[in-house]
Structure 1
């Protein structure tokens, strides 16, 4: 049986556009989307839930796909964090096991994301609305790449990552934007 999970970054928020660490209550900016019908799963964060509602008003919340816990950096500007704790920010941006903000490390996030992916590994098509950092971690894990590889990845709002699975191995599929030329 084929499984297909489409992970999508939530729509843009004001925090993203102003260089701030997100909070769980950041609203999205206006967007108009159309997607094929599939079961929709979402992070509990407001931006993810609002994005999921564009696809399905009854999206299922799954905490496995919540954003990284940024601890005391939630809602703070990256510049302010840098000015107050440059060494901590540098450690967080280079070591996936570090959590100088008192929240969650990338390594802990990776464990949570992988457990979430496994829960949907044997079902029909799903659309999972989550966060850019979750897509980065999922991609690194599916490709068996080191977690440090996330530092070389960028996912924009509404970017998608399609994971398919036949048997025990995940595969990455990059969908085309254009369906005809």
Structure 2
């Protein structure tokens, strides 16, 4: 059985614009309008799931998606760094930030390590491989990174080397142990180029 999983990244939120560790804030009217403009551009799916973040839920609504909550696809837990800017954390804890960005097992913020999020998302992806038909998942960029790392059997350290732009879809097809990847392509919006 071949499964298809489409991972959709949400619009930009205020935290991302400010290089701030996500504080689970809402998207603004402009970004909601961008998502509404892309409504209908996603493939039909048998199963739709949404990460529990406000940004993912609001983007899903703007795209016209109705899906079930997927706690296993939650954003990377950054513990006490949540809501702070990267500059603030780097000034206060430079060694901790350096360790976090280079050691996938490190969680100096008291939250989740990159290895942990890759394992959690990998477990979800393995289960999704048993779903007949397409699964569409609205998830934070770090969840897309973790899924790609797992699907391609990449070293966990590659996590930070993958960029996931907002309002893009990354497609995985295949089955556990052998996935094919179609890298993030922009959703069809009036101001986004498309390769379709």
So what's the TM-score if we normalise by structure 2? 0.84
Measure the CA separation in 2 of the matches of 1:36 and 1:146.
30
Q: Are 1:106 and 2:114 counterparts?
A: yes
Measure the CA separation in 1 of the matches of 2:18 and 2:10.
16
Q: Are 1:68 and 2:85 counterparts?
A: no
Q: Which structure 2 residue ranges, 5 or more long, are not aligned?
A: 186-193
Measure the CA separation in 2 of the matches of 1:108 and 1:114.
10
Deviation at 1:142, TM superposition (A): 1.2
1:26 matched residue in structure 2? 25
Tell me if structure 2 keeps the 8 A contact 1:142–1:170.
Answer: yes
SS in 1 for 2:102: coil
So what's the TM-score if we normalise by structure 1? 0.91
Deviation at 1:165, TM superposition (A): 1.2
Residue 136 (structure 1) aligned to one of 120, 145, 152: 145
Q: What is the CA deviation profile of residues 81-129 of structure 1, one whole-angstrom value per residue up to 9, with x for unaligned ones?
A: 0110000001011111000000000111011101111221122111111
Q: Output the aligned Cα RMSD.
A: 1.7
SS in 2 for 1:87: helix
Measure the CA separation in 2 of the matches of 1:89 and 1:174.
28
Measure the CA separation in 1 of the matches of 2:176 and 2:103.
32
Report which of the two has the higher share of helix.
2
Q: Which structure 1 residue ranges, 5 or more long, are not aligned?
A: none
When residues 36 and 48 of structure 1 are mapped into structure 2, their CA distance, relative to the original with a 3 A threshold, is same
Measure the CA separation in 2 of the matches of 1:130 and 1:175.
13
Measure the CA separation in 2 of the matches of 1:10 and 1:175.
12
Deviation at 1:21, TM superposition (A): 0.2
Measure the CA separation in 2 of the matches of 1:76 and 1:20.
5
Measure the CA separation in 2 of the matches of 1:92 and 1:26.
24
Measure the CA separation in 1 of the matches of 2:72 and 2:115.
14
Q: Are 1:146 and 2:155 counterparts?
A: yes
Deviation at 1:175, TM superposition (A): 6.9
